[in-house]
Amino acid sequence: MKSDEMVVDVSQDWLQACTVQEHFMRGPGQSHCQVDFSASCRQMRALGGDCYDFACLEDARVAMLVGDASGKGVAAALMMASVQASLRTAADFIGDDLAGLFKAVNVQACLSALADRYATLFYGVLNRATLTLRYVNAGHNPPVVVHRDGSLDWLEPCGPPVGLFPDAAWREGVMQLHPGDVVLAYTDGVVEASGASDREWGIDDLLQAARARRTHSADELVRSIFDAMDGFSEGVQMDDATVAVLRAD
């Protein structure tokens, strides 16, 4: 094969890989789930280690996933794709046992990941009938529940990242939501965005942006958070950045 043909071949493979990663984060249509959710993932490179996903489950439930694999680029993307695929498959067999679900995903991640590779994950399941949110936070930045009145609750980690310790265990957390409450999950690339003074955007700025638009649609809330982050950082991005929002109605 000639060198120019090899370049074209590699470019096509790269585009296909990007398409596959985008497909993993496409999620179901909102009309199918009948719930207000939205997310955006901006990778620093064509491929990256951030991810999000939404899934409509039986019994009027909606699942939300946000993750961040260590490192950047192709290696991080491959690990996150493996973790997402493992989680989707395990969920079909394990069902409602969220802690057991993460043990199964972790075993696969430890077997397949390279040394020192891991992924932080937040996985929540909202019961739309009772507005009960059950979740596992595997070493991820704590998502925040922004209540309709502006008060906050944090969904703290309840176990380590997946892929580090084969015998790791997680516990399930439960949060009772109310109509109008918003679950906001994000990756560290959002709060660690840097401004001209080298100050990070930080949690306080994220919360200010979220509270200002908490009664708006999930789409508008996600856009406004990225707009506020970009205004602070002057559009300079140093890490993969993901924001995902699920509204309880």
Among the listed residues 39, 115, 54, the one whose alpha carbon sits nearest the alpha carbon of residue 84 = 54
pLDDT by residue, tens only, the chain of 249 residues:
444 544 344 444 434 444 444 555 555 555 567 799 999 999 877 788 999 999 999 999 999 999 999 988 888 988 999 999 999 999 888 888 999 999 999 999 999 877 778 999 999 999 999 999 999 999 999 999 999 999 999 999 999 999 999 999 999 999 999 999 999 999 999 999 998 778 999 999 999 999 999 999 999 999 999 999 999 998 888 889 999 999 998
125, 101 Cβ separation under 8 angstroms = no
Q: Find where tokens 């996933």 sit.
A: 65
Query: In the chain, which ranges are E strands?
Result: 37-42, 50-57, 61-69, 119-127, 132-138, 144-146, 152-154, 173-176, 182-186, 241-247
118, 69 Cβ separation under 8 angstroms = yes
CATH of region 38-247: 3.60.40.10
